[in-house]
Amino acid sequence: MTELAVPLPLDWSHEITEIPERALKRSRTASDSERIALSRALDLLSCDALEATYQITLVAGGGYRLEGGIDAAVTQACVVSLEPVAGRIAESFSVEFQREVQEDVATGDVPILAAVEVEPLENERIDVGRIVYETLSAGLDPYPRKDGVAFGWTDTKAAEGAANPFAVLKKLKDPG
């Protein structure tokens, strides 16, 4: 993985030495400064709340599984009127971290979403903040629209009775 030019808004990570044999369970709530940074990074009007609940467990082969979910309240700009649109995001995630990630070459029809997401374990740390950030980003409404707002664009040239382009060509061909 390449280093990001700008650090992610959530610096939530755990060294693998922190993870007990049974599991590490946590609930985290984003601070005011983290929510402001999330708003800027995701082009939101505001991130009003973000809570993540997760657990990290040891899996076969010396890897770790991060499972959990997020609950967030965000405000986005309406794509039509730019007015604030409140939204709620509740998403779950499950990611496996392995020291060595092998690229499996699938043969035949394999459902992509059925596969376990595997990430490389870098610097002996589980980057929970990045997974929470990506889950929040994927859960955002790509086209938020305020209730009752409709896109009412009309072609002014068509409304003015602009000539059909083929009719104009026909006049050029047959003058008279």
CA end-to-end distance (rounded Å), the chain? 70
Predicted local confidence at residue 130, as pLDDT: 94
Please write the tens of the pLDDT for every residue from 68-121: 999 999 999 998 888 999 999 999 999 999 887 666 555 556 555 556 788 888
Please write the tens of the pLDDT for every residue from 5-64: 557 789 899 999 989 988 999 999 999 999 999 999 999 999 999 999 999 999 988 889
Taking the model in full, what pTM does it have? 0.76
CA distance 73 to 156: 40
Question: Exposed, middle or buried, 127 (CB in 10 Å: 0-12/13-18/19+)?
Answer: buried
CA distance 23 to 10: 22
CA dihedral 97, 8, 70, 63 (to 10 degrees): 10
Rg (CA), the chain: 25
Tokens linked to 145: 């629209």
Greater confidence, 123 or 6? 123
Q: How far is CA 169 from the centre of its chain?
A: 49
Sequence ranges of the domains in the chain: 13-151
